[in-house]
Amino acid sequence: MTVERVLLAEPRGFCAGVEMAIKALTWMTRIFEPPVYCYHEIVHNEWVVRAFERVGVVFVNDVSEVPVGAPVMLSAHGSAPQVIDQASERAAVVIDAVCPLVTKVHHEVKQLSSKGYDIIYVGHEGHDEAVGTVAEAPHAITLVEPETGIDGFAPRDPSKVALVAQTTLGMHEWQHVFDTAQERFPELKTARKSDLCYATTNRQGAVAELASECDLVLVVGSDNSSNTQALVRVARERGARAERIDSADDIDPAWLEGTRVVGLTAGASAPDHLVQSVIDRLAPTMGFELRSTTEEAEYFPLPRQLRAFVTTLQGLVEAGVTARVVGESPLLDRDREWTATEALRLISA
């Protein structure tokens, strides 16, 4: 039961959208007295959600659960237009922490439907991102699971069909649906690249590179994290045994029987300290080796409404007006250097 080596995939873990969303919700907890409300889990990670709950964030699945006049944040996965309207009617302050790459897909859907296209949306039924995107044009959009494909899709006009996708699908799953759709609808309209985001693509590329060398691949991330599940499937497609774990506590000792080399990665919403604790638990006799496939430099600024709100508040504090202490919170002008890991450390202190 001795693991010799761990091959650590890079990039792994937090993407720019998750970084932004975690920092944005941290700001909310510094500005407002608890409870602060958040529509849907801010990101799909159990550890992160519990950390925010401990400092008074209440996660709701229906905006009607937010008391009138309370502050509310909308999650990184993007919300339906009706949810945004409803939140604006009820809440004192609404900050939308949607990832800009999800917003891009919402725009595509709105544009395509206004031009009369029937849209195939490749995604997972019930996933927060899929629910929000489909709601942009429910009359024009058909959700297709990647495993099921487009057999049941019947457009009004086969020359006006578009293909759009959830940002966190498996690359091969997406490619398969794309190929089938293009064959059936030669005039298929789709984004120049796929809608799969850079973080999804890079993390899958990194795990694909090392999977064939591993006896077992462990993917740190939560069950409801679509990109985490995609990493597991990519590793399996490459012939590796692969398991998803929330933390080191989920490692089944039976998985390690006869296992010498373990590949390790993490979904885009999984904090890196959970990855480090997996390495500690495995205690590889020959240590770990970083396997880097690409460098990422993406940065998404905090939501505009939040920046405006904090700037106003800081001005008031500087002018001597009593406001909730922003205290040790980082200043907005060094947001680029401030990480979500530091933000989580701040709220967990």
Measuring CA to CA, which residue among 305, 310, 318 is closest to residue 334? Answer: 310
Q: Smallest Cα–Cα separation from 115: which of 187, 175, 167, 195?
A: 187
Spatial distance between the Cα atoms of 40 and 59, rounded to a whole number of angstroms: 6
> To the nearest whole angstrom, how small is the minimum distance from the Cβ of residue 21 to ligand SF4?
7
Complex with ligand SF4: residue 101 or 119, whichever CB lies closer: 101
- The Cα 264–Cα 282 span in angstroms is 11
Is the CB of 126 or the CB of 253 nearer to ligand SF4? 126
Question: Residues in the site for ligand SF4, rule: CB under 6 A?
Answer: 15-18, 76, 99, 101-102, 167-168, 197, 199-200, 227, 268
Which residue's CB comes closest to ligand SF4? 17
Minimum CB separation from ligand SF4 for residue 221, in Å? 11
The set of residues, in sequence order, having a beta carbon less than 8 Å from that of 47 and lying 6+ positions away, is 246, 247, 270, 271, 274
CB of 253 to ligand SF4, least distance (A): 32
Least gap, CB of 127 to ligand SF4 (angstroms): 11
**Alpha carbon 2 to its chain's center:** 34
Nearer to ligand SF4, 139 or 192 (CB): 192
Closest approach, Cβ 315 to ligand SF4, in A, equals: 31
Query: For residue 315, what are the CA distances in angstroms to 277, 302, 312, 322?
Result: 41, 18, 5, 11
Closest CA to 343 of 9, 24, 12: 24
Closer residue to ligand SF4 in complex, CB, 121/185: 121
Name the E strands within 5-153: 5-10, 36-39, 57-60, 71-74, 93-96, 118-122, 141-144
**Closer to ligand SF4 by Cβ: residue 76 or 231:** 76
Smallest distance from the beta carbon of 20 to ligand SF4, in angstroms?
8
Question: Which amino acid, 342?
Answer: E
Closest separation in Å from C-beta 18 to ligand SF4: 5
318 three-class SS: helix
Catalytic residue numbers? 129
Residue 161, SS3 per DSSP = strand
Cβ atoms < 10 Å from Cβ of 254: 8
Among residues 237 and 298, whose Cβ is nearest to ligand SF4? Answer: 298
Please name which of 206, 256, 194, 255 lies closest in space to residue 230, comparing C-alpha atoms. Answer: 206
Q: What are phi and psi of 18, to 5 degrees?
A: -70, -40
Q: Pick from 193, 136, 202: which is nearest to 163 by CA?
A: 193
Q: Which is nearer to ligand SF4, 15 or 275 (CB)?
A: 15
